[in-house]
Amino acid sequence: MTFICMANAQFTLNGKVVDDNRKPIDGAEVYLKPIGEYHVTTANGDFSFENLSQGNYILVAFAFEYKVLEEQISISRDSNFDIRLKPLGEELSEVVLTKEREKIFAVRSLRKVEGTAIYAGKKTEVVAVDLLTGNLAANNARQIYSQVVGLNIYDNGDAGLQLNIGGRGLDPNRTANFNTRQNNYDISADVLGYPESYYTPPVEALKEIQVVRGAASLQYGTQFGGLINFKFKTPNPNKNVELISRQTIGSNGLFTSFNSIGGTVGKFSYYNYFNYKEGDGFRPNSSFNARNYHGHFHYQISDKTKISFEATILDYLTQQPGGLTDAQFDEDPTFSNRERNWFDIDWNLAALRLDHRFSNKTDFSLNLFALDASRKALGFRQNRVDIIDDGNERELLVDDFQNWGAEARLLSRYQIGGKDAVFLIGSKYYQAYNQQRQGAGPATADADFRFVDEEFPAFPRKSKYRFPNLNIAVFGENVFNLTDKFSITPGFRFEYIKTSAVGNFTEVFTDLAGNVIETRVNEEDRDLERSFVLLGLGASYKFNKSVELYGNISQNYRSVTFNDLRIINPSQAISEDLEDEEGFTADLGVRGRFRDFFSYDASTFLLYYDNRISRNIVTVNDQNRVINLTDNAGTAVIYGLEVLGNWNLKETFFSSLEDVKFNVFTNIALTDSEYTESDINNVEGKKVEHIPSVNFRSGLNLGYKDFLASFQYTYLSKQFNDPQNSPPFPDATAPGAGIIGELPAYTILDLSLSYSYKKWKLEAGVNNLLDESYFTRRANGYPGPGIIPADSRTFYTTIQVKL
């Protein structure tokens, strides 16, 4: 290890990370405390920290299968610091290994610049999967995202096949209000036309999950929610072949098998996994099975250039037990009166990425990605939830998604006025060709996804559409360091969007007795073009090395999706005057760390939503039937306080106990909202739907030697499901029963344990420890309609071997 000082006016810290044989370590993580700056080494093992003020710092370095190095350094001029990491001995306990990882990962937010992305001044959170003790096999979102503040989560009980998270009043359904990516490329059905995510990577394959709130609209799209980016584990750089196998069994027939193989051979590295899941569900008619393969192949062409290819395949089939009315749920939440409802997903993703470093100051990336996928929904569905399936023809909906895109980014570091600055310019081309068809399905009981319109010519709900979409975007941001402590980051995003809808749908008109009066086939051919510019500004002020004040404001936009343009549900209608949503998101917060045992992030936010679209507006149609109308509910204002604190009790009170782990976290979001303007009756002045006023999570993480435990408490206050804040329908036979009404408050406790022995690891736990009967969703379509009960108490056990 060497430390060399050179006399220059600017304070920059350069270095190299090597092993005992002086071989450079690629992908090592280097963290500078207490300022929180974070870098990943290049293929040559190089790293660099710029724009450092004079003072003392702690340099922390970590690499896969190496011991964490923690060294105090003093900066008074440009410096060079070479780091030599020692191999990680297998004799270390799991508690010690976890604490080693926590030195660099525990409180990490995204640094100002990572790769070819800028996060300065933004509210960012990182879920370090390796540090979680929870039900990873079932992708239990309540545990995985426990330290991401303010998320609203649908509990589906399907072993995590779909992720349903929202926040700040955004509908959690299939995470549609976030730009959802894996390894920095899109994975949803159609980013603008149908931004729902039917595929979610298994958490067992992930290294971390990156969350960026609304200000991500400039770099990652126009959406109000922000960014969710799943980062997969990287290949082991020290082994030609590494095998990991995890087998899990649990309540309700749950079985999952996760098996991965990865390694590095010279300049070539790879990581592949296969994941199988099956289960019966805690309600009748809830069985599911899924198969998921992912392959990552990476080649280091030179010290400056690397290329990677990825392929993902997912298919799953689930039986859906349907929704319940309030009366049915109160009597028996496990009840099901749907035996013939099925849902099928076939998801195929491919991506090719090129990274090139033109110089130490300029980086370029190009991502090419494509999707070929389909979803099929089949079943008996009426606007009265309590109606028993009559055994006749079912309703079938089939969506086919084909899209591809390219995103290029150029990031350059330079100086202006003697201060360091960072410039990012990027562009994205995205083209989608999607098809949807709705009609009669077979009058059988199995998962037979064939259209049989000829057998049932009087079936009332038929449609067939093509949705070709085109999106071109150019975006840019620039970090200006105005002083050693204060920086601003202005940015822009130009969007060109062209959406089209070509097809037809059938309308059926009946009298009050339900007799058909008229059947009408409507042909449609729509084209809508728009272009606009979104602007944003971020700011960061460093009070000292440990405390940062950050803030941002960014415009948002959400186009009408093609799912908003057609009627797919007998209990729904679509407004002919539906318009795109506009608004902005603002954050102001402070984050930091007190010594080595307490970290925090406290912020306020404001979300202004104009023309907010709601699918749950209660109205009466011209046939005097209660239906849910999809329309612009009005102008909404959402604001609140979000606080996360993590206290390492072990370091506070008994730091000398090497084999002990003990920390506690608290995560609370206090949110209020109001519709300030609306043309819809009984909406103005009401609360915005999907917002619990109190969203609270807290937990304990304990450990001794090779034993780890996690205990988590979750509480969400009641939330409304429609903009009119309607109470539940008292009449269980009414068409809106089970669909309309508030979501009651609930409290959940989760317990997870793990024990490691050499290459083996045993995990076990109980979710919903107190067997709370609750629900988080009133669906107006599939998988309902009606109340979708959440899982009762469940158990799981996992055994892992690593070779």
Phi, psi (deg, nearest 5) at residue 100: -60, -45
If residue 539 lies in a helix (H) or strand (E), which one and from where to where? Answer: strand 516-542
What's this model's pTM, rounded to 2 decimal places? 0.91
138 within 8 A of 159, measured Cβ to Cβ: yes
Closest-CA residue to 773 (of 171, 324, 164): 324
Which residues are registered as beta bridge partners of 248? 256, 798
Q: Specify the pLDDT at position 7.
A: 39
For 589, residues 6+ apart whose C-beta sits below 8 A from its C-beta are 123, 549, 550, 551, 601, 602, 603, 604, 642
Q: Residues 450-480: pLDDT tens digits?
A: 999 888 888 888 899 999 999 999 999 999 9
Q: What is the β-pairing status of strands 760-767 and 626-648? A: unpaired
Decide which of 456 and 94 is more confident: 456
Buried b vs exposed e over 210-228: b needs ≥16 C-beta within 10 Å? bbbbbbbbbbbbbbbbbbb
Report the range of poorest mean pLDDT among 391-405, 499-513, 619-633. 619-633
Q: Specify the pLDDT at position 4.
A: 39
What distance in Å separates the CA atoms of residue 131 and residue 215, rounded to the nearest whole number?
27
Q: Decide if pLDDT at 659 tops 90.
A: no
**pLDDT over 70 percentage in the chain:** 93
Residue where the block lists tokens 């999607």? 434
Q: Decide if pLDDT at 12 tops 50.
A: yes
Q: pLDDT band for position 510 (50/70/90)?
A: low
Question: Under DSSP, is residue 54 helix (H, G, I), strand (E, B) or coil?
Answer: coil
Distances (CA, A) of 70 to 31, 89, 242, 401, 700: 9, 17, 28, 49, 26
Q: Specify the pLDDT at position 792.
A: 94
Q: Residues 124-137: pLDDT tens digits?
A: 999 989 889 999 99
- Across all residues in the chain, what is the average pLDDT? 89
315 within 8 A of 278, measured Cβ to Cβ: no
Phi, psi (deg, nearest 5) at residue 722: -145, 155
Q: Is 292 left (phi over 0), alpha (psi -120 to 50) or beta?
A: beta
